[in-house]
A = this chain, B = another copy of it.
Amino acid sequence: MSIQVGILGATGYTGGELVRLLACHPEVDLAMVTSEQYAGQPLEKAFPHVRGTGAPVCVKLDPALVAASCQVVFCALPHMASMEVVGSLLDAGCRVVDLSADFRIKDAEVFAQWYGEAHKAESLLEEAVYGLPELNRRAIAKARLVANPGCYPTSVILALAPLLAQGLVETRGVVVDSKSGVSGAGRSPNKGNLFPEIAEGFRPYKVTGHRHIPEMEQELSRVAGQEVRLRFTPHLLPQIRGILSTLYLRPTLPVTSALVESTYRNFYGETGFIRILPAGEVPSTNQVKGSNYCDIGWAMDERTGYMVVMSAIDNLVKGAAGQAIQNMNLMMGLPEDMGLKQFPLFP
């Protein structure tokens, strides 16, 4: 019998991507979608592209109703809103994949410092598992509550963790220059994201203090066994989807390209969603569009002593909805890639 799943906050871009992917998942029934704005209306009112696909009618969020009809809940609410409902869903026996930032940071003080507000469900922080399957597969499988990683952190942690785990690169002075498509900024009307402001208008934003930093440092420090500090700059690309991160690293010892390649391949294995590119090739956002892949390439620069690592993901898939489904698969004992085997859409 199919797993009954619900999506809270289904009419944002992440919610819509969950709908798209879950519709092709053979073991899942989309039992409930919630939306305050579209309550009472068919989902196709918010997303005309799902017309005719049997998507359910939107309802207002009522945790009791959600718990009554869903075994697994994807929570795609804004941050600070998830923490208000997740506890009652867990109490009612649901398993939850939360796509907000609310349960990613283990330390409530760190959360308060970066998000500017006190956490309201501190007691759940310890239990929550950071949902990056390539690092935390076993813990995710047993978790009641999975905190789905941010989009930038997914691209950065996957690129960096294997090197830190092997001690190949220094933990200080790491520079991360990331570029994201505009869908990462969500669907709320906003002058800065109007087409005429974005097209031909590449720019950095939040040059210091982006909220994904503590999440990246927390997980990478854990992997490295010592504190990792990142100099992180996000930029906004004139394209819909995709994150490409370029990382500048200092090897701790003379490192060959072959060693880098084998480090990655040993860490990730030959299967799964991480594609280690052949030496000399570079990732591109349009080689992962619409898919759950993360492509990783690298180059050694003898002139300057830097090692450059580049990773590409689709921010709405591996950076959000696809990874959430990968987590659900693990939690429910299904093959990790079930419902996620679609190729990238190129061109």
Contact = CB atoms under 8 A, between A and B. Distances in A.
Interface in A176-210: 177, 179, 181-183, 187-191, 193-205, 207-208
Contacts of A242: 200-202
Nearest to A23: B343
Contacts of A335: none
| Closest 10 pairs between A and B when the two form their complex, measured CB to CB | A201-B286, A196-B347, A203-B284, A189-B189, A49-B344, A177-B177, A49-B346, A49-B287, A195-B198, A207-B299
Nearest to A308: B207
Interface residues of A, number: 85
A240 B189 contact: no
Given A190-B194, A191-B189, A308-B233, A240 B347 contact: yes
A333 interface: no
A203 B283 contact: yes
A289 interface: yes
Contacts of A230: 304
A299 B208 contact: yes
A345 interface: yes
Interface string A336-347: 000001111111
A254 interface: no
Contacts of A300: 208
A23 to B, nearest CB: 5
A189 B194 contact: yes
Contacts of A290: 290, 345
